[in-house]
Amino acid sequence: MSDPFGIYVHVPFCGTRCDYCAFVTYVGRDELHEAYVAALIAEYELVRRGTEYPPATSVFFGGGTPSRIEAPLIGRVLRTLDLAPGAEVTLELNPEDATHAHLDGLVTAGVNRFSMGIQASSPKVLAELGRVHRGDEIPELLERLGRSGAERWSVDLILGARGEKDADVVAAVEAICDGPAAPGHVSAYLLTVEKGTPLSRDKARHPDDEVLATRYELIDELLRARGFEWYEISNWARPGQECRHNQLYWEQGDYLGLGVAAHSHRAGRRSWNISNLDTYLERLGSAQSPEAGEERVDGASLAFERLALALRTRQGVPRGAIQGADELPEFVDVVGDRLVLSRRGRLVADEMVRRLKTD
């Protein structure tokens, strides 16, 4: 396998916009799928004219809803990219798009890992989150993934919606993990109130911090009992099922971002694309760069960020990197020569980051 290098492809199209979502997405613009794919390919060819990039060891189609795009268009993008042998190719998938035909087409196009946004199994919780699928479909959805030919698949959950009970979380984990087509990877995110979203404007729907902490402890217990181990604060996997692309981010690796609002990082240089879809298409249509800005991170800032990212993972940070760690045994575990956040420590990770020291 080549040295890790990733490509992130942002697909901004959605059928509906969830109340909690703050990503750059567009509803009702599906007629632009082919034009957008052409722009992605044009961007990739444009950036490679001035810079040599290594073959990608991982590709991640995120969004938005990448599964809204037809499989042949996904295949067109993948045939353009320079991929290393055995590259992990992940595509985020909405349950309503997971037909047998579409999954088979995506696998034929080159996708070998799916990340399905199930979010919950309870109808009332799904309605609160603005999701359109039904919770009772989960076993059938997972069975389709198992028969698709994909090498691996993951499921996303969102915890803390109004009206959710502990029993709803238990039921969701049982539906996802206790069947014959259980995923090897689960991401579980605590509901976050993002500025400018409908959720942010309705304070009655804001999650309670104590409830969120309880939900996190519960999901960790449920997944660990089923053979999953946390390897990043919001991610659990069975051995060998970790998402290689996301590990690249947490290890401060290099990656190229393609698409509207996509971010890139290489050797301490960060850049980001414009976030307006029409402007993005116009620029690529005239062979202009869609880049909107850049920054360089080096020295102490780079070292601090490396520690902050590592602290979020099971690898932890070197002993001595956390000020006053000896006084915080309930938050930090000593594992060999590393300090690793305990379950309770993961709940206050931001505070622990503020205690990091790089000298």
Strand partners, 91: 61, 114
Contact present, 268 and 261 (Cβ < 8 Å): no
Six-digit token pair at 155?
Answer: 């499921």
| pLDDT of 336 | 94
Question: Smallest Cα–Cα separation from 259: which of 229, 280, 282?
Answer: 280
pLDDT at 313 over 90: yes
Give the type of residue at 327: E
> Quick one: what percent of the chain has pLDDT higher than 90?
86
Q: Is the dihedral of CA 71, 75, 77, 82 positive or negative?
A: positive
Phi, psi of 186 (to 5 degrees): -135, 130
DSSP tally for the chain: helices H, then strands E:
13, 17
Half-sphere exposure (Cβ direction) of 120: Cα atoms closer than 13 Å: 26
| pLDDT of 74 | 98
pTM across the whole model: 0.95
Taking the domain 6-249, which CATH number applies?
A: 3.20.20.70
Six-digit token pair at 116?
Answer: 């399905």
Could you tell me which residues come within 8 angstroms of residue 354 by beta carbon, excluding any fewer than 6 positions away? none
Contact present, 258 and 42 (Cβ < 8 Å): no
Q: How far apart are CA 147 and CA 149, in angstroms?
A: 6
Contact present, 11 and 64 (Cβ < 8 Å): yes
Strand partners, 56: 83
193-210 pLDDT per residue, tens: 999 898 899 998 999 999
Six-digit token pair at 83?
Answer: 């991929």
With residues binned 3-state (H G I as helix, E B as strand, rest as coil), the percentages for the chain, rounded to 5, are 40, 25, 35
DSSP one-letter string for 235-274: EEE-TT---HHHHHHHTT--EEEESTT-EEEETTEEEEE-
| pLDDT of 244 | 97
Q: What is the mean pLDDT of residues 216-243?
A: 98
Six-digit token pair at 2?
Answer: 């080549």
74-116 pLDDT per residue, tens: 999 999 999 999 999 999 999 999 999 999 999 999 999 999 9
129: confidence class by pLDDT, cuts 50, 70, 90: confident
| pLDDT of 300 | 86
Could you tell me which residues come within 8 angstroms of residue 281 by beta carbon, excluding any fewer than 6 positions away? 32, 35, 36, 39
19: confidence class by pLDDT, cuts 50, 70, 90: confident
Contact present, 356 and 322 (Cβ < 8 Å): yes
Six-digit token pair at 201?
Answer: 């404007």
247-304 pLDDT per residue, tens: 999 999 999 999 999 999 998 899 999 999 999 999 999 999 999 999 998 888 889 9
| pLDDT of 108 | 98
Domain ranges of the chain: 6-249, 300-353
359: confidence class by pLDDT, cuts 50, 70, 90: low
Q: What is the mean pLDDT of residues 217-221?
A: 98
pLDDT at 1 over 60: no
pLDDT at 64 over 70: yes
| pLDDT of 133 | 78
> Quick one: what percent of the chain has pLDDT higher than 70?
99
